[in-house]
Chains A and B, each alone.
Chain A
């Protein structure tokens, strides 16, 4: 069963702008991960943030995690047309053997 809710469902921005996607979940987690998927393709792992971490950076990506609110955000700075894709958060629920529960995804379109 899915436990992640993401918003917005779709986001359209101009190249150079920042994109922010939000994810909320329901249960205790070991970690939360963000993935990217180009249309009809496999998943690309972007970043993992553990439950005891609050913020993490990787290149143009910044992820925050608020376990008290059970929410996370993914910020992509200085977006590029090549960032156009679907972005999913996935939670690793505590005591669930490592399985991932995916959010509904945000479809990002970056216009050149």
Chain B
């Protein structure tokens, strides 16, 4: 099956700093990538949809200036959490698709903001 990687797998940062998370499709070209957030013991919440070469579409309640998404190529999307706060600590998961039914999920990035 298609493989999606995320980097880093874990990151700890200080409050007020920014963190960049990468999502790569390793063996296919992803026209669309999705970013989700998952708090402990909860489900995945879609944050935004990212199409290559265009601006991301954010879900209601997600601050686009805080969660910057860039989908510059068909194999890479990045999520930057700007001015991170402890409440941003979460598990961030990306997925990628190329227009078919299935999305392929990355292994997730655990962000801890101290």
Contact = CB atoms under 8 A, between A and B. Distances in A.
Nearest to A30: B101
A98 B45 contact: no
B93 A42 contact: yes
A50 B107 contact: no
A101 B44 CA distance: 8
A85 to B, nearest CB: 13
A90 B102 CA distance: 11
A45 B101 contact: no
Contacts of A1: 59-60
Given A31-B101, A42-B106, A99 B46 contact: yes
Contact of B49 (A33, A92, A99): A99
B110 A40 contact: yes
Nearest to B45: A2
Nearest to B6: A42
Interface stretch (A13-21, A66-74, A102-110): A102-110
> Chain A interface residue count: which class?
20 to 34
Interface string A85-101: 00010101000011111
B89 to A, nearest CB: 13
A41 interface: yes
Contacts of A50: 101
Nearest to A103: B43
A48 interface: yes
A43 interface: yes
Contacts of B59: 1
B23 to A, nearest CB: 12
Given A40-B110, A42-B107, 18 more contacts: A30-B101, A31-B101, A33-B102, A35-B105, A41-B107, A42-B105, A48-B102, A90-B44, A97-B49, A98-B49, A98-B97, A98-B101, A98-B103, A100-B34, A101-B46, A102-B36, A102-B45, A102-B46
8 contacts: A2-B43, A2-B45, A40-B91, A42-B107, A42-B108, A43-B44, A88-B44, A99-B34
